[in-house]
Amino acid sequence: MAELEAVIGLEIHVQLATRTKMFCGCELSFGDEPNVHTCPVCLAHPGVLPVTNEQAIRYALQIAAALECEVAPRSIFHRKNYFYPDSPKAYQISQYDVPLASNGRLGDVRIHRAHLEEDAAKTIHVGDSGRIHGSSASLVDFNRGGTPLVEIVTEPDLRSAAEAASWARLLRETVRQLGVSDVNMEEGSLRVDGNISVRPAGSEELGTKTELKNMNSFRFLERGIEAELARQRELVEAGGTVAQETLHFNPSDASLTPLRSKEEAHDYRYFPEPDLVSLVPTEEMLREARESLPELPAARIERYRKQMGLAEDTAALLATDPATAAYFEQTAKEAGKGVEPRVVANWVTGELAAALRQDGGDAGAAESKVEPAALAALVAMVQEKKISNSSGKAVLATLVAEGGDPAAIVDREGLAQISDSGELESIVAAAIEANPDAAEQVRAGNRKAIGAIVGFVMKQTKGRADGGEINRLIEAQLDARAG
Ligand code: ADP
Ligand code: ZN
Ligand code: MG
């Protein structure tokens, strides 16, 4: 049987950080006492009328611009009817056939649509542990009801659980940097559902999908999709078929429980919301949304790759967080023409990240004691072979611990590279004398045995000699003696 390929599309709900709700003046809040941010509109008293929040439209337009979407000149709101205690109106105001935004992209993933809607209230199920009047109950907190949401729907362009999680992270960083949402998964201001199917690799047709609901961290998102892909693969390889259903992922035991199957799915009886006017963004609103965009992670990753020659994963590590990006760019600038940005990038993501981890704190490069100018000077010294690679690491450890100027640390600790080749040659000769067995093995063709002699020299020179140079000198001297 042909190998099975994963096909994944994501639906992301982003709570907008407006001051007030989508269709009324109630304040947005998280964690307040239940039901203090309510009014006749969001509690659906008879006769009230909704009014669209202009700030929510502006924020949604910023998201649309960041995702390179086309904006509909005129879209409308629909009523999505369903009966559940989290919706006092018994419908959610959403968008249906004409969404505010469509046909966009972020990185390699196409955006199908992005539309505005309102959030439901929060239901709290009080089970065995908290019985009320002797039985279990459901409580409703209407504070969240009516919070503005943008729902973003991707095309099924993702091909693995890891890719889905890393793309979702990129989306979160993008929205965070727009400043239109808190994008906090734990608090539910960013919620991601995964749509998952498998198909024979190379096939163009889509298989039957299942939907994984509400995974509240990127780790769970990745593990949930992984588990569901494994389930589907096993099922299909055994000759079975995937049933279209909605599943809940339980991270504690990696189990997947069906929530509801499509056959019992609601018919939402969408119809146009008669109490609201059409959504017609003005030229000014569109312009403002475009012009307010900062340089976003995807564009920065692209720039680092194309203009600075960075590898994709290094570019992503540096470009995603704006503070890290600024740190890297400043360091590259200070390092000057003699040092390629690629080399600086590798120091920031490699040596510096390792040194910071070693130091035990959780400070990133930008919050560390290592000033961009200091790192730049250090990288330049290593590049120019004024100090060895291993001395470079030692200086970096000192910089991480106490900050300061690398040249001063090199002086203070006597780390300047041994530049006198005569001095190094005699240390190498002594090292060969002191390790006759290793020298014999190297001469006999066992290249690995050279490590013992190199280590000896390193120790003698306290790491102040260049590794490549040491190797070269040892080989030259052994060859000379053999010949
Ligand atoms: P539904 O009608 O069930 O909501 P949609 O066509 O609106 O399905 O798609 C919802 C999400 O599911 C989108 O992100 C889309 O990319 C994704 N999707 C659709 N079909 C598939 C499939 N066969 N496999 C994986 N993802 C899919
Ligand atoms: Zn209200
Ligand atoms: Mg859908």
- Taking the centre of ligand 3 as the mean of its atom positions, its distance from the CA of residue 39, in whole angstroms, is 30
The pLDDT of residue 260: 67
The pLDDT of residue 463: 77
Q: Is the CB of 5 under 6 A from ligand 1?
A: no
The pLDDT of residue 483: 46
Choose one of 209, 211, 236, 267 to mutate for the ligand 1 pocket test, by most ligand atoms within 8 angstroms of C-beta: 209
- Taking the centre of ligand 3 as the mean of its atom positions, its distance from the CA of residue 436, in whole angstroms, is 74
Q: Is the CB of 7 under 6 A from ligand 1?
A: yes
- Taking the centre of ligand 1 as the mean of its atom positions, its distance from the CA of residue 279, in whole angstroms, is 26
Choose one of 5, 117, 153, 195 to mutate for the ligand 1 pocket test, by most ligand atoms within 8 angstroms of C-beta: 195
Within the chain, which residue ranges are assigned CATH 1.10.10.410?
A: 421-482
- Taking the centre of ligand 2 as the mean of its atom positions, its distance from the CA of residue 26, in whole angstroms, is 4
Q: Is the CB of 114 under 6 A from ligand 1?
A: no
From the CA of 153, which ligand is nearest? 1
Q: Cα(348)–Cα(44) distance, rounded to whole angstroms?
A: 54
Q: Is the CB of 463 under 6 A from ligand 1?
A: no
The pTM of this model reads: 0.83
- Taking the centre of ligand 3 as the mean of its atom positions, its distance from the CA of residue 22, in whole angstroms, is 21
Could you tell me the strand order of the sheet in which 255-261 lies? 70-71, 101-106, 109-118, 148-154, 4-15, 190-200, 210-215, 245-250, 255-261
Q: Is the CB of 246 under 6 A from ligand 1?
A: no
> 164 near 172, Cβ under 8 Å?
no
- Taking the centre of ligand 2 as the mean of its atom positions, its distance from the CA of residue 85, in whole angstroms, is 16
How many CA atoms lie less than 13 Å away from 355 in the CB half-sphere? 24
The pLDDT of residue 458: 86
Q: CA Rg, the chain, in Å?
A: 30
pLDDT, one tens digit for every residue, the chain (483 residues): 679 999 999 999 999 999 999 999 999 988 899 999 999 999 999 999 999 999 999 999 999 999 999 999 999 999 999 999 999 999 999 999 999 999 999 999 999 999 999 999 999 887 765 555 667 788 999 999 999 999 999 999 999 999 999 999 999 999 999 999 999 999 999 999 999 999 999 999 999 999 998 788 999 999 999 999 999 999 999 999 999 999 999 988 889 999 865 555 678 999 999 999 999 999 999 999 999 999 999 999 999 999 999 999 999 999 999 999 999 999 999 998 889 999 999 999 999 999 999 988 778 899 999 999 999 999 999 998 888 888 899 999 999 999 999 999 998 988 887 767 788 888 888 889 988 898 888 888 888 889 899 888 888 887 788 888 888 888 888 886 654
Q: Which CATH class is domain 421-482?
A: mainly alpha
Q: Is the CB of 224 under 6 A from ligand 1?
A: no
The pLDDT of residue 234: 97
From the CA of 207, which ligand is nearest? 1
The pLDDT of residue 218: 95
The pLDDT of residue 261: 57
- Taking the centre of ligand 3 as the mean of its atom positions, its distance from the CA of residue 482, in whole angstroms, is 76
